[in-house]
Amino acid sequence: MSGGDLQLPRTLVAEAVAKALAEDLGLAGDITTEATVPHGARAAGVIGARKAGIVAGLELVEAAFTALDASATIEVSVPDGGHVAAGAPIAHVAGAARGLLTAERVAMNFLGHMSGIATLTRRYVDKVAGTRARIIDTRKTTPGLRAFEKLAVRAGGGLNHRFGLYDAILIKDNHIVAAGGVKPALERTRAHAGHMVKIEVEVTTLAELEEALALGPDAVLLDNMPLDMLTAAVAKVAGRALTEASGAVNLETVRDIAHTGVDLISVGALTHSAPLLDVGFDFEPTG
Amino acid sequence: MSGGDLQLPRTLVAEAVAKALAEDLGLAGDITTEATVPHGARAAGVIGARKAGIVAGLELVEAAFTALDASATIEVSVPDGGHVAAGAPIAHVAGAARGLLTAERVAMNFLGHMSGIATLTRRYVDKVAGTRARIIDTRKTTPGLRAFEKLAVRAGGGLNHRFGLYDAILIKDNHIVAAGGVKPALERTRAHAGHMVKIEVEVTTLAELEEALALGPDAVLLDNMPLDMLTAAVAKVAGRALTEASGAVNLETVRDIAHTGVDLISVGALTHSAPLLDVGFDFEPTG
Amino acid sequence: MSGGDLQLPRTLVAEAVAKALAEDLGLAGDITTEATVPHGARAAGVIGARKAGIVAGLELVEAAFTALDASATIEVSVPDGGHVAAGAPIAHVAGAARGLLTAERVAMNFLGHMSGIATLTRRYVDKVAGTRARIIDTRKTTPGLRAFEKLAVRAGGGLNHRFGLYDAILIKDNHIVAAGGVKPALERTRAHAGHMVKIEVEVTTLAELEEALALGPDAVLLDNMPLDMLTAAVAKVAGRALTEASGAVNLETVRDIAHTGVDLISVGALTHSAPLLDVGFDFEPTG
Amino acid sequence: MSGGDLQLPRTLVAEAVAKALAEDLGLAGDITTEATVPHGARAAGVIGARKAGIVAGLELVEAAFTALDASATIEVSVPDGGHVAAGAPIAHVAGAARGLLTAERVAMNFLGHMSGIATLTRRYVDKVAGTRARIIDTRKTTPGLRAFEKLAVRAGGGLNHRFGLYDAILIKDNHIVAAGGVKPALERTRAHAGHMVKIEVEVTTLAELEEALALGPDAVLLDNMPLDMLTAAVAKVAGRALTEASGAVNLETVRDIAHTGVDLISVGALTHSAPLLDVGFDFEPTG
Amino acid sequence: MSGGDLQLPRTLVAEAVAKALAEDLGLAGDITTEATVPHGARAAGVIGARKAGIVAGLELVEAAFTALDASATIEVSVPDGGHVAAGAPIAHVAGAARGLLTAERVAMNFLGHMSGIATLTRRYVDKVAGTRARIIDTRKTTPGLRAFEKLAVRAGGGLNHRFGLYDAILIKDNHIVAAGGVKPALERTRAHAGHMVKIEVEVTTLAELEEALALGPDAVLLDNMPLDMLTAAVAKVAGRALTEASGAVNLETVRDIAHTGVDLISVGALTHSAPLLDVGFDFEPTG
Amino acid sequence: MSGGDLQLPRTLVAEAVAKALAEDLGLAGDITTEATVPHGARAAGVIGARKAGIVAGLELVEAAFTALDASATIEVSVPDGGHVAAGAPIAHVAGAARGLLTAERVAMNFLGHMSGIATLTRRYVDKVAGTRARIIDTRKTTPGLRAFEKLAVRAGGGLNHRFGLYDAILIKDNHIVAAGGVKPALERTRAHAGHMVKIEVEVTTLAELEEALALGPDAVLLDNMPLDMLTAAVAKVAGRALTEASGAVNLETVRDIAHTGVDLISVGALTHSAPLLDVGFDFEPTG
């Protein structure tokens, strides 16, 4: 985590950690630690995984500890994207005892949340191993944490769909209705969009797919199609656009979906329903 | 949701919604909607649940829609804390078509996340029905969303543990070690804490419990105790302090834990691992 | 307080009130009011003075109440700068009962603090009535509240010295030492300052005063001079610059200082040591 | 400018206007207006162009006036993107006299700056009329104003290149050197980029162009090429990628560049060197 | 003031100091210092007390000086909570001459304000020495400075009442009226409050006290009771709740109030009417 | 650029750079650099001018590079206010390759914009060399950048007019109309303004000038007067006030205006229409 090599824009990290610490500290601060831990005491601890998983979020962990104690140090055993076994250490941290205790929950909340996402993503990625399909995320993210959750998806081996409403065009049903059909919708988006913006259209039938393909979208979102319709759709596209499957994707269905030949499978659950990876921070005996 | 009757401090809601919208809109805004939806068009839609659950977060939903269109209106069918059946409507929304489409994802992300928490909380609360035990949350919340997640827990019928490090004292193992034992830890916290601050101590054995009780804490956290030890602990406390059980709590174990007679069962999963309640926003045909 | 006629920049008022409310509400909000006051109840109350004084800060009072209940109304009996008798009403407020109770302390803290400053200022102003001396404030203000405190000084009949380090030049002893004397200090400031910036120099002896006057400052700060030296200084200046007396000014000494003929008497205590004007907000019986 | 139809994300507009007003008002506010304009006075005025040009920025103008007087009204004669003749009105504004005067400079600074950009853009667009070339902007924008400047480019008839480092890939010389050549650079970007992100490569020779084309970029940036080389490059690309010319583009050279057949011509001067469109706000006599 | 041992959450300190510096520096900065003090000059100075008192706020002093010159150093002679004699040094500061001069007023404003509060608090604490009564503060704090003012109260030997509306319940008259009596008010608060939240009720008569005690509050606020009624109230409570006296408390009355046997005496004046402790910063001759 | 010697308030610089970086990085960051530049690579580069000009803004350049890589170093060849020849270096920068590439555009945008202003200012200043006239700026600045643009004017040899509405009084036509004439306008401003605030009045005829002079303003703004009227106005003023000429000032007319004997010539174009100084950042070959 040396200077100038950020995975994430630095301001995002600093702001998110500051906000989380402010949320936990309020005006009175950590009244338990101030009462019980002597001024000036030093401590060291280990961040460990209680279950196996994929690590993500260490940049935020470091930011949390150093926000309270600029001299705190962190030595990483399993970096972002790495697999940690149950009971194994992820990193060792040392610094002021008070600062470590006060920052602990914020650091673990970020790490557990992001590692949970990376871990679930990896499970999906592993399920489709050997197929052409790649696992991608959606905009169904936790408000305020999108950049971090999308980083976690990448740590788990997934790819990111668009980051927001601003960086790609995705025409959905409601847009098509409002525009008066696929053709006017696509024509209007082409006139409006910058030349560096890709365009994707959602279709739910093969007829809609055909209509869309005539206008050369970069990608087509095949929403909630049965497996045989997906297979037919991929054949119809024939490489003229990226194909993305969505809807009713879970760990049981994802491999069959991949076998239809789609390029991409989007999974909202990666970011909206991944359970926490259980991580903890334990002081090590000194002396 | 009339003026001056807020469940949540208004600034928190406004800031969270503004941040989430900024995250989704970037500098360029909703380029799909701007291209495809005519200027000035009006629309109406229904927010519905695709699965049954407990609703939470409607204040943020309203804030998201009105942030983009001050004239947008929302009529709530199932308020926060209410049960919505699968396929049933939660609220109807009307306003500028562009504004509704642009705010949709942010509104649904808040609603789905918070309703997911309320729904899981209710499942735990139902499991312990008829016992004295109440279900409470922890500080294992998603960074930046604690106030909303704790509101969702209340909507689900749970109670809130402390909101942060600042509003109650919870002495854990590391604090006891740093202070040199339960007795000095408790004595120091009493000297330090304001008179309106409650004090809880974590204990893991009956011996520790006895030592703690001698110093009159408001509550004791019985961490990771087997059921029979929990029962013995409750008997030993004999009403002198609130008893809180934590560790290895899940939907299978929670009722047995409640039967030990503890006052409170804390469940981190309520806020860190609740799956989204699947909600959606569908335009209604106009005409 | 009609639109567009602000005494204070609107953003300053909104930000200060939002910050104060956030400080008082935290994440959990007003838990007492939410528990005890029924949803939807309306109320009316009177803001009154428990001691006589000069009112200041009503713009912030209105902002506090309407921040929590946009429909709240305020009818002012004694406007900013007016004198209120002990026990007399300052304003009547009506709105949502919850909103009024929750905003009460923030509103009263602003009003009491600013009215305290206005009241003390008026006492100084009254003391020098009939002399040429005007009472002015200093930069010894409460951090974060300078704009409001300087408004309160004006409400009390005082005038404002510079608002900060940026809007006027005041050369003090340390600056003179650093520049190598009054002459180079003044020459350097003239070369550096914009043409719309006034220059004042602090002097402590008549010799220094003479040296300063040769360079044509707009004002001279006569610091900690005995009364006879002040009189001599005013004579020496002879209208070539504004004369400001500072140091050892209190309600007992200020009139004698004014009689030396100085133009201005600066009083740090106006903003750093004014006791609160005791104001309160009492609900009126409804029905 | 009806609700919910924003060209720009609302928070961006509100924040930019609030920041500009704060910059102009400081702590003391508009001391000239407060001294000279009576409390409660109403006024009306006309925003006019002193030279002919293309209008842009009216959303910010409205936001500035209504920020100080929520009741202020604006009637637009020439909307964003429209042509205004020298001396002709752009809009009429009415409201509190104090509010209008205080907001005037901020409103005019936004309007003049953005209309200047729109006006210069239109000149470039007119120059290449009848060719296939479209005029696009760059990231050489004024810090903090990118969203507004890119809106102004669109108002002038130009298109937007990427909005930042985050929404498209543009591989420049330094990147190629760092990656060890065009081939590894492109391969690495494909592995890293999301599937909705377009890729452009900068080339300065036909050899580099050929190397790049083999890897299928979405666009090629033909930097500082002489006209005949540009023509040859366009021929070599043969529609396999978008072609963008940059470097040494000005109003004298742009039409010849367009005649080489390139798809896009990027002009940094649109946003970094456009002179203000001279606009003013004049009170109209009342009565 | 070593890393990680903060008395105050670090973000609070950094934000308050940044805001205060911004307030004093505006856009043009310290135009006097820039004109008169040579670039690169170093200086050292002493922070001294002009009157005797209790020191509080050194963390903010250090933050102010280092905000302008990261290399500035501060050596503390009298730490927070210590007694400084009139004319004695509190700390020595060294750094860039410009930075020290520019930060001086902000640093002194924080130090003087907070030390004024600590000094007044100590006077109250000394008055009740030997009794069981402890001196506590209220929510009548200066808007935006509550955390710092409550720290100053602790530095003076006082204790803190609740920090805001969120961390404890205090049922006042208006709440009781709105709830329909003490009993329903207390019952509703118990149902609403988290298990870690203490409950206090305000009573003004012995009858009200009796009614309240039946419901087991953690504390009772005996408001504006005469001394004999206070004595009777303490007897009636008989240790079942904490007793807090408020109203008409001043340095003349406080000891008599303490002798009634109350546990706590709350004094709003500690934070709303404490005069500044007169502190100054004087450059030391170098050479 | 050593600590504590800032030309600009540090918070302004840090905030402006953070905002500009956030604008360019979004949530996803610099996806091109992350893909193509190896983790840990170091680099060095030179900032050079492609055309001759006056440098301004290096403080922001340094802040931009060090914001992304705290270890980045900058060695300045031509400081703010210095003249750089076409093709000559302004500064050398070294640091993490990724950080330098990511910060490059923000740094160059600030430097080019501010140096453009300094360069244009110098051209005006050179034009009036040998006359008494000084070149000053106006409030027609780019929203959000006033402090930086006014610093650039000083770097070019110009002086600053007032920084905002708050630090000086400038009575314009509309104010005079609203106040009912020059006399009441000036009298009211004197009563309202602090004693450290200068007052300037705009006049457009010699009759108005005479009326104004009778009330002793600090400066008179001679707006849009022909040259002979300007000469007459200067004679009439006869040193009793500063004389400022404005309107129709350009590089062709400015010297003739200066020859009328006015003290000040204000030029809005300095800040609203200065073309960028073309600067670039080129990596140097390593090894």
Q: CA of F214: how far to CAs of A139, F182, F209, F211, F241, in Å? A: 68, 10, 9, 6, 11
φ, ψ for residue F282 (rounded to 5)? -120, 130
Residue A174's pLDDT is: 85
Q: Give C10-56 pLDDT, tens digit per residue.
A: 889 999 999 999 999 999 999 999 999 998 999 999 999 999 999 99
Q: CA of D240: how far to CAs of D49, D119, D230, in Å? A: 45, 33, 15
Average pLDDT of chain F is 94
Query: Do the beta carbons of residue C161 and residue C266 sit within 8 Å?
Result: yes
Contact D197 A198 (CB under 8 A): yes
Contact F26 B26 (CB under 8 A): yes
User: In whole angstroms, what is the distance from residue D266 CA to residue D220 CA?
Assistant: 12
Q: Which residues pair with E246 in a beta bridge?
A: E223
Chain B, window 58-97: residues with a beta carbon less than 8 angstroms from a chain A beta carbon:
97
Q: Is A168 on the interface with F (CB under 8 A)?
A: no
User: In whole angstroms, what is the distance from residue D167 CA to residue F25 CA?
Assistant: 9
Q: Is C20 on the interface with E (CB under 8 A)?
A: yes
User: In whole angstroms, what is the distance from residue B100 CA to residue A54 CA?
Assistant: 37
φ, ψ for residue D126 (rounded to 5)? -65, -35
Residues of chain A neighbouring D168 (CB-CB closer than 8 A): 196-197
Of E18, E29, E99, which has the smallest distance from its Cβ to F4's Cβ?
E99
Query: Do the beta carbons of residue D94 and residue F128 sit within 8 Å?
Result: no
> Which two structure tokens, joined as six digits, stand for E244?
């807090």
A5 confidence band (pLDDT: 50, 70, 90): low
How far the first Cα of chain E sits from its last, in Å, is 29
Tokens 């309320």 belong to B118
Residue A3's pLDDT is: 54
Residue E287's pLDDT is: 47
Residues of chain B neighbouring E161 (CB-CB closer than 8 A): 194-196
F6 confidence band (pLDDT: 50, 70, 90): low
Query: Do the beta carbons of residue B277 and residue B116 sit within 8 Å?
Result: yes
- Is the pLDDT at B4 greater than 70? The verdict is no
B173 confidence band (pLDDT: 50, 70, 90): confident
Q: Give A165-204 pLDDT, tens digit per residue.
A: 999 999 998 898 888 888 899 988 887 788 999 999 999 9
Give the torsion through C-alpha atoms of C260, C265, C269, C275, to 10 deg.
Answer: 90
The helix (run of H) or strand (run of E) holding residue E67 is helix E58-68
CA distance F256 to chain D (A): 23
The helix (run of H) or strand (run of E) holding residue D42 is strand D42-49
Residue E101: half-sphere exposure toward Cβ, Cα within 13 Å:
31
Report the percent of chain A where pLDDT is more than 70.
97
Which ranges of chain E have pLDDT less than 70? 1-6, 285-287
Q: Give C192-202 pLDDT, tens digit per residue.
A: 788 999 999 99
Q: Which DSSP category does D253 fall into?
A: T
Select the residue from C17, C24, C32 to test the E interface by mutation, using most E Cβ atoms within 10 A: C32
Q: Give A118-145 pLDDT, tens digit per residue.
A: 999 999 999 999 999 999 999 999 999 9
- Is the pLDDT at F7 greater than 90? The verdict is no
Catalytic residue chosen out of the listed positions A59, A80, A149, A223: A223
Whether D105 is catalytic is yes
> Which two structure tokens, joined as six digits, stand for F158?
């110009």
Select the residue from C15, C27, C69, C71 to test the B interface by mutation, using most B Cβ atoms within 10 A: C27
Contact D95 C8 (CB under 8 A): no
Which of A230, A176, A178, A228 is CA-nearest to residue A199? Answer: A176
> How many CB pairs (< 8 A) connect D and E?
5
Residue F191's pLDDT is: 78
Residue F4's pLDDT is: 60
φ, ψ for residue A48 (rounded to 5)? -130, 160
Going by their DSSP bridges, the two strands E53-54 and E83-84 should be labelled as: antiparallel
Supply the DSSP string of F73-131, one letter for each residue.
Answer: EEEESS-TT-EE-TT-EEEEEEEEHHHHHHHHHHHHHHHHHHHHHHHHHHHHHHHTTTS
The secondary structure of chain B, three-state, reads: CCCCCCCCCHHHHHHHHHHHHHHHHCCCCCHHHHHHCCCCCEEEEEEEECCCEECCCHHHHHHHHHHHCCCCEEEECCCCCCEECCCCEEEEEEEEHHHHHHHHHHHHHHHHHHHHHHHHHHHHHHHCCCCCCEEECCCCCCCCCHHHHHHHHHHCCCECCCCCCCCCEEECHHHHHHHCCHHHHHHHHHHHCCCCECEEEEECCHHHHHHHHCCCCCEEEEECCCHHHHHHHHHHHCCCCEEEEECCCCCCCHHHHHCCCCCEEECCHHHHCCCCCCEEEEECCCC
Going by their DSSP bridges, the two strands D83-84 and F53-54 should be labelled as: unpaired
Q: In 3-state terms, what secondary structure has residue E48?
A: strand
Instruction: State CA F250 to chain mean position distance.
Output: 17
Report the percent of chain D where pLDDT is more than 90.
86
The helix (run of H) or strand (run of E) holding residue C256 is helix C254-259
User: Which chains share 3+ C-beta pairs under 8 angstroms with C?
Assistant: A, B, D, E, F
Give me the count of residues in chain A.
Answer: 287
Whether F172 is catalytic is yes
- Which residue stretches of chain D are H helix? 10-25, 31-36, 58-68, 97-127, 146-155, 173-179, 182-192, 206-213, 227-237, 254-258, 269-272
Which of D156, D167, D172, D130 is CA-nearest to residue D267? Answer: D156
Q: Give B190-214 pLDDT, tens digit per residue.
A: 877 889 999 999 999 999 999 999 9
Q: Give F194-204 pLDDT, tens digit per residue.
A: 899 999 999 99
Residues of chain F neighbouring D19 (CB-CB closer than 8 A): 143-144
Instruction: State CA B13 to chain mean position distance.
Output: 15
Tokens 């100091």 belong to E17
Residues of chain C neighbouring F159 (CB-CB closer than 8 A): 194-195
Query: Do the beta carbons of residue D127 and residue D253 sit within 8 Å?
Result: no
User: Which chains share 3+ C-beta pairs under 8 angstroms with E?
Assistant: A, B, C, D, F
Contact E95 F4 (CB under 8 A): yes
For the CA atoms of chain E, what is the radius of gyration? 23
Q: Where are the beta strands (DSSP E) in E39-138?
A: 42-49, 53-54, 73-76, 83-84, 89-96, 134-136
Question: Taking the CB of residue F15, how many other CB atoms lie within 10 A of it?
Answer: 17
Query: Do the beta carbons of residue F14 and residue F240 sit within 8 Å?
Result: no
Residues 6+ apart with CB under 8 A from A264: A133, A134, A135, A136, A159, A219, A242, A243, A244, A245, D195
F3 confidence band (pLDDT: 50, 70, 90): low
- Is the pLDDT at C242 greater than 80? The verdict is yes
Contact D9 B26 (CB under 8 A): yes
Which of E260, E179, E193, E205 is CA-nearest to residue E227? Answer: E260
Q: Give D95-144 pLDDT, tens digit per residue.
A: 999 999 999 999 999 999 999 999 999 999 999 999 999 999 999 999 99
